[in-house]
Each structure stands twice: as C-alpha cells, then as structure tokens.
Amino acid sequence: MEVLDETETRAAVASAHDAANWLNSPKTRTYDRSAPFEAKLFHDTYTLKALEKPSGKLGICQGRLCCELEYAIAASTFSNKELFALGAFDGLHGHEKTYYMQNCVLVKCAEAMRKSSCGSFVFNSSTVFTKIAFCGQFQTPYVYPQVILSDSEGHLQIFQPGAWHFTGSAIETSHYFNGTVLNAILLGRDYTRDGASVDKGAGSHPVVSFLVLISGILEIKLLKAD
C-alpha cells in the first residue's frame, strides 16, 4: 500500500479535485455523459466508459489522471455486436503493486453485452475507426504510445508510419487513417511513486521497462492467436 506524507496527501487531494473540475469544465460538458464502469485489465482495475455512438467525445478520470478521446467510426461498420471503451488507470500495477502506472486506453471488449470483458484479450474486429484523437493529463514525462490493429483473419498489425503520430502525451491519427483498431494505449510510468521493493538501478529505465511490458503483451497475444 502506498503511504503518502502530508504534502503528498494534499497534492493528491488537489489533483482529485482538479480531475473532478476537469470533468465538469465548459470544455468537457459536451462530452458523452454515460455512466462509468470498472473492469480488470492487465491485473489492474480500470475506470471505463463505453463508446455508444459512431462518433463523439469522451472523458474519464481515475485518481489524478484524466483521459480524453475524440473518435469517429465508419458508419457502415458501427454496430451493437462490438463494444469499445475508453479507460483510465492511476496506481500501482499488478498483483505485487510495485510499479506506478498512469494509463489511458482505448480497448475492444471481448463481449459486446458484457462490460466486464473489456479487459480480456481479443484478436478480431470489424469496426473501422477513421479518427482517433487521444490524450491524457499525466503527472509524468514518461509516456509511451501503442496502437494495435487486426486484419480480417485476426492477425495483429502495427499501422504504417504516418498513419498516426505521438506528441508526448497524445495520439492523433492522420486524415487518411482507416483501421480496425483493437487497442490504443498511452502508457505512463511514474518512477518517483514506485513501490519500495523496486530496484532503482538500470532495470528501471523507462524505455527498457516499456519495451519489456509491451513485448510481453504482444507475445501473449501472438501465442494465443496461434
């Protein structure tokens, strides 16, 4: 369990208030106001909102992190047979609660009628996104992007260069983007808030940690696909 001193506690409370104010600001009042829900993703409990329209804007917060999404789906591919959700996680990661993460995710859920399935592995999608503008209000400079697609046979793909770009805390697709997205992730690592058992040496380098995590995720998906 993370124990905060008085200064950190005040900062956490202020950040939580900022998150609440952000959700009710003039900028976000036009966002979809659907009810949030929770689901397990990579052993962590995320706060999520479902994408219930073929296009729109969503905002979701957890703890000190807020995530924003503006999206568009090709009308001919939007249906109630597939469910996508925007999610946020701000906390210590995994069973051992060792590594502090701040993550914004856009994920396809395994079952359209079961929101708790939004953390399960999926390999197929027929929903074509034509726009994704995706960002988070992170408290760490170590933020890394990932966009994974699926082809018609369930093979995982990484989109060609130029189809989307990353600006430090945001993913935005180009005007010609057209893809069956399985997930888009902004993965943030806050090394200053890691658990006491973390080795602060070379093994905690942000790029190394990120590559190990993403490689593991892709390896699991590819093994399951085989």
From the centroid of its chain, how far is CA 93? 14
pLDDT recorded at residue 32: 63
DSSP secondary structure code for residue 60 in this structure = E
Return per-residue pLDDT of the chain as tens, 226 residues: 344 444 443 444 344 444 445 444 545 445 566 789 999 988 899 999 999 999 999 999 999 999 999 999 999 999 999 999 999 999 998 778 889 999 999 999 999 999 999 988 888 899 999 999 999 999 999 999 989 888 767 778 777 778 889 988 999 998 888 899 999 999 999 999 988 666 655 444 444 444 444 444 444 444 444 4
Q: What is the DSSP string of 24-47?
A: TSTTTTTS--PPPEEEEETTEEEE
Beta strands in 99-176 (DSSP E): 99-108, 129-136, 143-150, 156-157, 164-166, 170-173
Q: Give the residue extent of every domain in the chain.
A: 6-225
Residues ≥6 apart with Cβ < 8 Å to 71: 51, 55, 56, 57, 58, 106, 129, 131, 132, 133, 134
From the centroid of its chain, how far is CA 53? 19
Report the distance separating Cα 212 and Cα 169, nearest Å: 20
Report the distance separating Cα 8 and Cα 20, nearest Å: 18
Residue with tokens 């590559």: 211
- Beta-sheet strand order (sheet of 170-173): 55-62, 65-73, 129-136, 170-173, 164-166
Q: Is 184 helix (H, G, I), strand (E, B) or coil?
A: strand
pLDDT recorded at residue 199: 60
Report the distance separating Cα 22 and Cα 202, nearest Å: 36
pLDDT recorded at residue 134: 93
pLDDT recorded at residue 21: 52
